[in-house]
Amino acid sequence: MALLEVNDLAVSYGQIEAVKGVSFSVDEGQVVAIVGANGAGKTTIMNTISGLLRARRGQISFAGQDITHWPTHRIVAAGIVQVAEGRAILANMSVAENLALGLAAAGSRRHEGGPTIATMMERFPILGQRSGLPAGQLSGGEQQMLAIARALLAQPRLLLMDEPSMGLAPLLVKQVFAIIAALKAEGRTILLVEQNALKALKLADYAYVLERGRVALSGTGAELAGNQDVARAYLGGL
């Protein structure tokens, strides 16, 4: 059974229908990518799954429960944790305080032997070195690491990543993808939206190409990455 199942999802902003009947699923332990041009509706889908936006039509189920109309805090409590686009860390709070928030979000899912702030600082040493610094003073790449570390401390069953490499220099993009590959190797379940489409497809078990609010194509990451039409039509220049 799929861990996340999205069925005929439609989402509007007033008169603008941004997502027009999208269906897809994510199995436990899978990395699933959604790629597509700017404005295709990728962030809208992510924000609807995490409860920040409301579905106009369709269902979202998670671990067998219909979460379509759940409030965000309940969705987080169920284990869906989003690493926000634009790295929405709290700039005035210290690195350590941001991490503590992640840990708090684990709530009742927190278990013996789970990650701690200390283990996260081991995994991302730069966060240990900068622990007392306001998060807003970190570099872009460091902020992204903090956002990922904070999400991992919440012990997600499903990690939502919206453009984790956005705005980063090539070397840091590489680092972020290495982190995602490591998370995949740990068996984590990830829904990934990326502008670096080819990189995302190469990493993904399965992927969906979104075009103006609809799924235009889907297939294994390898299939789509090797598809010339996909490359030409959707991955232009990447």
User: Residues interacting with ligand ATP, by CB under 6 A?
Assistant: 13, 16, 18, 36, 38-44
Nearer to ligand ATP, 19 or 120 (CB): 19
* Minimum CB distance to Mg ion, residue 43 (Å): 3
The amino acid sitting at 195 is Q
Q: How far apart are CA 169 and CA 118, in angstroms?
A: 28
Nearer to Mg ion, 4 or 40 (CB): 40
Q: How far apart are CA 194 and CA 217, in angstroms?
A: 16
Segment lying near Mg ion (by CB under 5 A), choices 43-51, 124-132, 202-210, 222-230: 43-51
Interface residue with Mg ion among 30, 43, 48, 82 (CB under 5 A) is 43
Q: Are 57 and 48 in contact (CB under 8 A)?
A: no
Rg (CA), the chain: 17
* Minimum CB distance to ligand ATP, residue 218 (Å): 16
* Minimum CB distance to ligand ATP, residue 203 (Å): 18
Nearer to ligand ATP, 86 or 125 (CB): 86
* Minimum CB distance to ligand ATP, residue 186 (Å): 27
Q: Does 144 bind Mg ion (CB under 5 A)?
A: no
Cβ-in-10-Å burial (0-12, 13-18, 19+) of 171 comes to exposed
* Minimum CB distance to ligand ATP, residue 197 (Å): 10
The DSSP secondary structure of 209-228, one letter per residue, reads EEETTEEEEEEEHHHHHT-H
Nearer to ligand ATP, 35 or 151 (CB): 35
Nearer to ligand ATP, 93 or 216 (CB): 216
User: Could you tell which of ligand ATP, Mg ion, none binds residue 185, using a CB distance below 5 to 8 A set by kind?
Assistant: none
Nearer to ligand ATP, 36 or 141 (CB): 36
Give start and end residues of each alpha helix (H) in the chain.
Answer: 42-49, 72-78, 95-106, 117-123, 125-129, 140-153, 170-185, 197-203, 221-225, 228-234
Q: Are 166 and 200 in contact (CB under 8 A)?
A: no
Q: Are 19 and 42 in contact (CB under 8 A)?
A: no
* Minimum CB distance to ligand ATP, residue 42 (Å): 3
Size of the residue set binding Mg ion (CB under 5 A): 2
The amino acid sitting at 169 is A
